[in-house]
Chains A and B, each alone.
Chain A
Amino acid sequence: MKYSYYYDLEKKNRIECIFNVLMYEQDAKDETIRLNFQASIVEYKNDEVIQSANRLASFVLPQQQGSQGHDIDFHRIRYKPENKWIFEIRNNRVISETLVLGLYTDLARHDPIGLDVQHINNQYNVELRGNNLSRLQPTYVAPTIQSLLVNTNFSDRRIPDGFTSIGYFYDHNNTRLRLNNFRQTYRTKIPKKAEFTIKASITPTSVSGVDNKLFEVDLDNIGTIHVFNHQMRFIKVNASAGVIKNFSNPLSMESFLSIPEYSDFIIDGDKNGNIRITYGSEALEASIDSFEDSLFLAFTASGSINHYLNQLFVEYKI
């Protein structure tokens, strides 16, 4: 079943809630039906997919022949206070089987102008009843939406959407990139009050650069992290002074080569504006202002020294 809420008459901007049955198996003896399906909620802007959430699941529908009542409930919830669109699929025959998917999107702030519903599976026919639009209970609590923006370990030559780098080289023996700069622009911004995690695996080729500086990472609307071989500095956006963390042991090439965790460059932010930056297995804690959403992260190596990028992961929860 595909529910398509459109926001313009050409139907190029829309939210689609899709229930796509991949396998439909009817048991001849006890007349139960097993459905393996993919549930998706997709946002289209100008006919292009901006973001989507997908899950695979399975429902069992007992005693089909001559059964009363209905099999599956579909709820499409628009929740403006938190900018969320939610798709709930419930097995009416086995109440514990429920799936909830959602998107954090601008479109939840606007009114759709129409809804098209299409039966997209040809293995069975369906009847749709109880098609109602209702008020949300005042006690309704929207689920937390988890949005994975980037997730790659460069196991093949492909670079993620929105990733740019001048002069990078793909090291296919170790499935990593060798570069001295890159910028990752996210398809949808990290919302300002969201919990987020950014993780990159960055290994320098030398730790003795000018002023002992290795690299800096600029997080849009959050701040800049300067990494030296003896310390890390975080300067939040629009500030001049920052927080400094001195490494108890200066970073050395031996450590990078022998301890894989050393290369993990991790930024964890919570919804109260606290962030924790980890590198070389040491952490710096600071607070940020969270006035704006964050669109990108940019890495610049000091003195064009090459670094290896093995992994890039960006996710938020809201």
Chain B
Amino acid sequence: MKKEDWRPNKCVKVFILFEEVHMSEVTTKSINNQFLRDYIDSEIQQKRRLESTISEYNSLTRKARERVVDQMNLIQVLEGQGGGEEQLKTLRERKTKDVDLQSQSEKTLEELKQKRINLVADIRHHLIELTKREVAAGGFVTHRIGAGPRTNLNRQTMNVTFREWGQIEMAIATDMDSWRDSSQLKIITKGVL
């Protein structure tokens, strides 16, 4: 969503496409806040999937680079030994394929990283707005949470339970330059969960 598209009437139109709601009973303002929350939540999920893909491509790129280096070393050794032309030809072809794979992989990685930059900027843009509204109304905004492994997020209450080494992310974007970020922790003795 670009900044210019962001006008209340447009939001309401998009919202109708997805859900049937008794529009008259809900004020425009609260629809927009809920829309913002849902939108940001879905972008956080996207970002998590993107991070996972980036991590895989990092691994792929690194392995492709290692293979190319290994093959170059092998070719050098064989050339030094005056190795067979047939063998060298096969090795050189394989190396060329791997170099292509490496550069493809690097290119995709760059694209994915750029996508992530854009996504983070978009989340930021929407979250700054949501935060501004909620802080103006009630003094605080509830964090939008992306639940990671070994956690359970209750979307109704926005409470999260963590098992060992569980991890979540919370989006944070505001034009306040000072703030208090709070959490309440309850210990759940093991065996109960």
Binding site for B on A (CB under 8 A): 1, 3, 5, 9, 26, 33, 61, 64, 69-81, 92, 109, 111-136
Which chain A residues border B113 with CB–CB below 8 Å?
Answer: 9
Which chain A residues border B142 with CB–CB below 8 Å?
Answer: 131-132
A77 to B183, CA, bound (A): 12
Q: Are A128 and B165 in contact (CB under 8 A)?
A: no
Which chain A residues border B117 with CB–CB below 8 Å?
Answer: 9
How many contacts A-B (CB < 8 Å)? 185
Other than the known A125-B162, A133-B172, what 7 A-B pairs have Cβ atoms closer than 8 Å?
Answer: A70-B186, A77-B180, A78-B178, A121-B164, A125-B193, A128-B168, A133-B131
Most chain-A CB neighbours within 10 Å: which of B142, B160, B162? B162
Give 5 CB contacts A-B under 8 Å.
Answer: A9-B116, A119-B164, A132-B181, A132-B182, A135-B176
Q: Are A77 and B186 in contact (CB under 8 A)?
A: no
Q: Are A70 and B172 in contact (CB under 8 A)?
A: no
Chain B residues bordering chain A, tally (CB within 8 A): 49
A259 to B145, CA, bound (A): 63
Q: Are A132 and B187 in contact (CB under 8 A)?
A: no
Shortest beta-carbon contacts, A-B, top 6? A134-B140, A119-B162, A122-B164, A70-B184, A80-B177, A130-B184
Q: Are B141 and A132 in contact (CB under 8 A)?
A: yes
Interface string of B117-145 (1 = CB under 8 A from A): 10010001000000100010001111101
Question: In the complex, what's the smallest C-beta–C-beta distance from B117 to chain A, in angstroms?
Answer: 7
Which chain A residues border B140 with CB–CB below 8 Å?
Answer: 132-135
Question: In the complex, what's the smallest C-beta–C-beta distance from A70 to chain B, in angstroms?
Answer: 4
Which chain A residues border B178 with CB–CB below 8 Å?
Answer: 77-81, 136
The secondary-structure label for the interface of chain A is: strand
A5 to B162, CA, bound (A): 19
Q: Are A134 and B135 in contact (CB under 8 A)?
A: yes
Which chain B residues border A136 with CB–CB below 8 Å?
Answer: 178-180
Point out the residue from A33, A75, A113, A125 that lies within 8 Å of B181, measured CB to CB: A75
A47 to B157, CA, bound (A): 35
Q: Are B143 and A132 in contact (CB under 8 A)?
A: yes
Q: Are B135 and A131 in contact (CB under 8 A)?
A: no
Which chain A residues border B161 with CB–CB below 8 Å?
Answer: 125-128
Q: Are B167 and A116 in contact (CB under 8 A)?
A: yes
Which chain A residues border B188 with CB–CB below 8 Å?
Answer: 124-127
Residue B159 at the A interface, CB < 8 A?
Answer: yes
Q: Are B187 and A126 in contact (CB under 8 A)?
A: yes
Point out the residue from A114, A120, A124, A134 that lies within 8 Å of B189, measured CB to CB: A124
Which chain B residues border A64 with CB–CB below 8 Å?
Answer: 187, 189
Which chain A residues border B8 with CB–CB below 8 Å?
Answer: none
Which chain B residues border A123 with CB–CB below 8 Å?
Answer: 190
Q: Are A125 and B185 in contact (CB under 8 A)?
A: no
Given contact pairs A9-B120, A136-B178, A131 touches B158 in the complex (Cβ within 8 A): yes
Residue B111 at the A interface, CB < 8 A?
Answer: no
Residue B75 at the A interface, CB < 8 A?
Answer: no
Residue B32 at the A interface, CB < 8 A?
Answer: no
Q: What residue of chain B has the Cβ atom nearest to residue A5's Cβ?
A: B172
Which chain B residues border A116 with CB–CB below 8 Å?
Answer: 167-170
Given contact pairs A72-B184, A128-B184, A129-B157, A135 touches B179 in the complex (Cβ within 8 A): yes
Question: In the complex, what's the smallest C-beta–C-beta distance from B159 to chain A, in angstroms?
Answer: 5
Question: In the complex, what's the smallest C-beta–C-beta distance from B107 to chain A, in angstroms?
Answer: 19
Residue B49 at the A interface, CB < 8 A?
Answer: no
Q: Are A92 and B141 in contact (CB under 8 A)?
A: no
A127 to B186, CA, bound (A): 5
Q: Are B185 and A128 in contact (CB under 8 A)?
A: yes
Residue B94 at the A interface, CB < 8 A?
Answer: no
Which chain B residues border A134 with CB–CB below 8 Å?
Answer: 135, 139-141, 179-182
Q: What residue of chain A has the Cβ atom nearest to residue B47's Cβ?
A: A114
A79 to B178, CA, bound (A): 5
Which chain B residues border A135 with CB–CB below 8 Å?
Answer: 135, 139-140, 176, 179-180
Residue B71 at the A interface, CB < 8 A?
Answer: no
A131 to B183, CA, bound (A): 5
Q: Are B179 and A133 in contact (CB under 8 A)?
A: yes
Which chain A residues border B159 with CB–CB below 8 Å?
Answer: 127-129
Given contact pairs A112-B172, A118-B165, A126 touches B186 in the complex (Cβ within 8 A): yes
Question: In the complex, what's the smallest C-beta–C-beta distance from B114 to chain A, in angstroms?
Answer: 11
Which chain B residues border A128 with CB–CB below 8 Å?
Answer: 159-162, 168, 183-186
A129 to B153, CA, bound (A): 10
Which chain A residues border B189 with CB–CB below 8 Å?
Answer: 26, 33, 64, 124-125
Question: In the complex, what's the smallest C-beta–C-beta distance from A221 to chain B, in angstroms?
Answer: 27
Q: Are B169 and A114 in contact (CB under 8 A)?
A: yes
Residue B83 at the A interface, CB < 8 A?
Answer: no
Q: Are A133 and B181 in contact (CB under 8 A)?
A: yes
Q: What residue of chain A has the Cβ atom nearest to residue B136's Cβ?
A: A135
